[in-house]
Amino acid sequence: MAGIPVLASSGDSIARAWENSLIELYERGCDISTEYDRAGDPPSKDATMLITVEDPLSEPMIHRDMPGGLEDLQEYVMEVCEGIKDHWVRDRRDTADTRWEYTYHERLFRYTVPSLPDSVDQIEGMCRQLARTGFTRRAQAVTWKVWEDRDCYDPACLQSVWCRITQDKGQACLNMNVRFRSNDAYRAAFMNIFALVQLQSRIAARISQLSGQEIKLGRYCHLADSYHIYGSNMAEFRSRFLGAMKTRDFAGRTMRYLDVKDMMEEARPGILDKARGADMSDR
């Protein structure tokens, strides 16, 4: 096949599906340059990748080779699901404002359009659509703002979230699809998937509340147009990730979220203080 390979990976849990996707990418992806390469960097490994997590809440959920630590993972979940860094988004009317271009939470929960007086909570709208008609194909939220993102320095990587409810032996299940235009497979994708599964859980809980019907989680599908390992990270990937594959079994490469959840929750006050403190210093 000419062009970027189209690859697929799956697993029962987040950790296994992510791990399998990296192996598939490393073995079958193509070599290509990126806009971020420095002189002497080897080419990146790249593919269009579809990852299916068959049972998003099954353990072990956490892979030990994720970027950062458990507190970083908790911070990212709070950033995506609760908007603790939405105040870091810059005022586009102020050319001297150098804060972030966006957060995913701000785009999903407070999407703004120049012609509309108020922002749009796309996630709440999805929940209400699905509570009325679970099989609708219209329940989606988007992040891309064509009037801003084509020319900005750091456009959103996550493009859309799409959900639909199906029945499995009489149990309603919320299925989620997400699409990324660009996704750093080794240094970002695990945290992306983990946080978005947490969002999937919150959407299911909100639909349950609105409909009066228990909604459980169905499969999670993660599509990345460009799923890549940067050439500058390749030596680390080979020694750390592939090295662990040779020296530790799957249980040794992963951990149960249930075993560390309390620890992660205890980090919340410090994470919130850090987010607020960064806001004051940036201003």
Q: Where are the domains of the chain?
A: 6-282
How many Cα neighbours within 13 Å face the side chain of 239? 4
pLDDT means per 10 residues in the chain (283 residues)? 91 98 98 82 94 98 96 98 90 68 94 94 98 97 94 90 96 98 97 98 98 98 97 94 96 98 97 80 40
The pLDDT value recorded for residue 38 is 80
Fold classified for 6-282: Thymidylate Synthase; Chain A (3.30.572)
User: Could you give the 3-state DSSP secondary structure of residue 273?
Assistant: helix
**pLDDT confidence of residue 152:** 82
Are the beta carbons of 142 and 159 closer than 8 angstroms? yes
What per-residue confidence (pLDDT) applies to 280?
A: 41
SS (H, E, C) 114-157: CCCCCCECHHHHHHHHHHHCCCCCCCEEECCCHHHHCCCCCCCC
Burial letters 32-53, b for 16+ CB under 10 A, else e: eeeeeeeeeeeebbbbbbbbbb
pLDDT of residue 282: 43
**pLDDT at 41 (0 to 100):** 86
> What pLDDT shows up at residue 178?
98
